[in-house]
Amino acid sequence: MASYTASVTSDRPPEEVFRYLADFRTVQEWDPSITASTHTGGGPPATVGSRYRVVTHVAGHDTELDYETVESVAPSRIVLRGENESAVSVDTITIEAETDGGCTVTYEADVTLKGVRKLADPVMGRVLERLGHDARDGLAEKLRR
């Protein structure tokens, strides 16, 4: 399994940040590796059971993952699970209120490769770290506006 964790701060209130991030269509606004994220059903966006089709562009290839919101605790926690034929990704977003009215957002991604692809875990770890840094920087920029 490959993992990546990053935190960013925002001067926006936790409730606003939660509403924004819980609707996973917004991931394409701040993660430069995501070329599309569409709501595909299962309930309204940002609720448990809502589903998304996410297209990631990595190493010259597009990869689709079907995500589902599996936990949504406003305004502090969102857990999404994405899967395709080659991997499972569990993305956990934690939003912690700060005393100044802003918040700290921690994004954790755990990617488990399936089948013989598990042999590529060390490579996936390096790829996830590079993509994670870019996503972290994009999220920090987006939450500053």
Q: Which residues of the chain have pLDDT under 50?
A: none
pLDDT at position 129: 82
Each domain of the chain, given as residue ranges in start order, spans 2-144
> CB of 90 within 8 A of CB of 84?
no
pTM metric for this prediction = 0.92
Average pLDDT of the chain, as a whole number: 92
pLDDT at position 133: 87
pLDDT in tens, 72-87: 999 999 999 999 999 9
50 to each of 3, 38, 84, 119, 124, how far by Cα in Å? 24, 11, 17, 32, 27
Which CATH code fits 2-144? 3.30.530.20
pLDDT at position 59: 76
pLDDT at position 2: 84
